[in-house]
Amino acid sequence: MKKVFFLLLLSTLLISACTEETTIRNDKQNQIVSEASKEAGPKHNVKSFEEFPLEGVIDGDTIKIEYNGSTEKVRLLLVDTPETNHPSLGEQPFGQDAKEFTKQLLKDKKTVYLEFDVSYRDKYKRLLAYVYTDEGINIQEELLKNGLARVAYIYEPNTKHVDWFETVQRTAQQQAIGIWSVENYVTDRGFRKEVFNSNGENNNKSQCNIKGNINAKGAKIYHLPGQQNYEDVKAEELFCSVVEAENAGFKAAER
């Protein structure tokens, strides 16, 4: 009887420890996403756009609104984020990051502002729009800026902001952040999950270029390509994404 009780107690402790570890990891991810969303900008004038009640976030590039009395899906124009629950593709790396990022940007928002292009719907009958918060933050711009989306699905006549978005994307590519931190992950046709191993880690680890360094005071700092003195930094550990670096306890270099 004592043996059975001991085994039950041990199982309970193990489950509790695993749950706590998962909670800490998820909280850390949400904190990273939240901090990134606080730096959103610049702000845009939304006075000429249409305002609609927000009902929820489906994934990084799709939300739900109330439109003419019904619930409608809105697909963010000209961007594509990794999948979170695709029927054939499943969940792709950075998909949950993109979804959480969009949720943070729209957290506590009752409405969103939609800027429509020429065509209002896609072949799946979803609304197509550029999405803004009431403060004038453009969701597409922020996803691209933080390396959580690629410019995609460029179909005439809905090409109003292609040049703007491609400029933002180039900066994220140069910084090698998010989806751009893993070589060959992003393609013209989507995302290649196979460049990651079964544990979700990058198979091309040698190509990761976010440098993790521990200074003389024991502080863990990561440095992005293009930052001051990046070339002179001794890489004691390499990371493929900001999320990976911060989950390992490293903080961003100030410059």
Of the residues 72, 126, 192, 237, which is catalytic? 126
Q: Does residue 66 have an active-site annotation?
A: no
Contact criterion met (CB below 8 Å) for 242 and 211: no
CA 144 to chain centre: 9
Token output for 236: 């004691």
Cα–Cα dist 154/150, whole Å: 11
Which three-class secondary structure state does DSSP give residue 53?
A: strand
SS (H, E, C) 76-128: ECCEECCCCCECCCECCCCHHHHHHHHHHHCCCCCEEEEECCCCCECCCCCEE
Q: Does residue 150 have an active-site annotation?
A: no
Cβ atoms within 10 Å, residue 194: 9
Of the residues 75, 100, 141, 150, which is catalytic? 75
Which amino acid does the sequence have at 40?
Answer: A
Strand order of the β-sheet with 237-239 is 237-239, 210-214, 220-223, 251-252
Contact criterion met (CB below 8 Å) for 75 and 61: yes
Of the residues 83, 100, 142, 246, which is catalytic? 83
DSSP 219: -
Contact criterion met (CB below 8 Å) for 88 and 97: no
Cα–Cα dist 163/140, whole Å: 13
Cα–Cα dist 66/187, whole Å: 34
Q: Does residue 126 have an active-site annotation?
A: yes
Active site members: 75, 83, 126
